[in-house]
Amino acid sequence: MIKLSNVNKTYEKAIVLKNCSMTMDRGEFAFITGPSGAGKSTLLKLLYCSEKIDGGHISVDEWILSKLKKRTIPFFRRNIGVVFQDFKLLFNKSVFENVALSLRIHHMDSKEIMERVKSILKEVKLMHKSDIFPQFLSGGEQQRVVIARAMVSQPMLLLADEPTGNLDSDNTRSIMRLFREINTKGTTVLIATHNEDLYYGSGRRVFHLNNKHIEKEIVG
Ligand SMILES: Nc1ncnc2c1ncn2[C@@H]1O[C@H](COP(=O)(O)OP(=O)(O)OP(=O)(O)O)[C@@H](O)[C@H]1O
Ligand SMILES: [Mg+2]
């Protein structure tokens, strides 16, 4: 599903990733960890095509990312759910509409949109805030809307960058349970996190990013 081979990434003159390689199978649930500044967010952005590699090869499913044309990138992205801190909510749309947006882009029937959005909002415990605008939500509630938005289209791949960073332990547990559920329905899940509690005891592969590459891989 995911293949990175000898990937290099430089911002201006700073080398962030050098000869970085990893693979993930379809249907896997894995974590990426490593010290602050190691390049975890960068790696997820490369997988989402919001940053470009300077060398090497990345493919996601059948897509070879360095060969994607600008106009093809939105089609590629329709297969991917993202929980990134800088992929902000739309503040002129309600919680419901923020979550429904990706389904509207897919031209889904409005009855099905209603059902799907309600169901995912229930899962993230935000049904009662459905008509509210995001600026009136707490940081953790906004984070849960972002998570609902990423999961509602049941993407082929879910990329999540510190998805539980703003959440208390109860919400963290329920979001992790949701990620596991979406994974059992077939979505491949990759989570970047500092938080050992998320992967400790999970039995999942954990990629450790350090010194500009995947230094080791353990089972959490
Ligand atoms: N847009 C950018 N322009 C220049 N440098 C950048 C940019 N984005 C990230 N960097 C640099 O690349 C390095 C890796 O950043 P990245 O955000 O990928 O790390 P991270 O592992 O996600 O860190 P954290 O755990 O703190 O989130 C850092 O040194 C950072 O300063
Ligand atoms: Mg980061």
CATH number 3.40.50.300 given to 1-79+157-220? yes
Residues carrying CATH 3.40.50.300, the chain: 1-79+157-220
Q: What does each C-alpha distance from 159 to 29, 73, 107, 185, 189 come to in angstroms?
A: 10, 16, 23, 16, 6
Mean pLDDT of 47-60: 96
Summarize pLDDT for 75-98 with one digit per residue, the tens.
999 999 999 987 789 999 999 999
Return the best residue to mutate from 20, 32, 40, 43 for the ligand 1 pocket (most ligand atoms within 8 A of CB): 40
| Rounded-to-integer distance, Cα 115 and Cα 111, Å | 6
pTM for this entry: 0.95
Q: What is the pLDDT of residue 116?
A: 96
In the reported structure, the alpha carbon of residue 194 is separated from the centroid of ligand 2 by a whole-number distance in angstroms of 9
Question: In this structure, are strands 213-219 and 63-64 parallel, antiparallel, or unpaired?
Answer: unpaired
| Residue among 42, 47, 48, 161 to mutate when testing ligand 1 (max atoms within 8 A of CB) | 42
- Specify the length of the chain in residues: 220
Q: Mean pLDDT of all residues in the chain?
A: 95
Integer angstrom CA distances of residue 65 from 146, 157, 166: 24, 14, 31
pLDDT at 205: 98
**What residues have their beta carbon closer than 5 A to ion ligand 2?**
40-41
Task: Determine the Cα–Cα distance for residues 125 and 141; give it in Å rounded to an integer.
Answer: 9
The pLDDT of residue 87: 76
CA distance 67 to 201: 38
Residues in the ligand 1 pocket, defined by CB under 6 Å: 11-12, 14, 16, 34, 36-42, 194
Model confidence pLDDT, tens digit, residues 99-120: 999 899 888 999 999 999 999 9
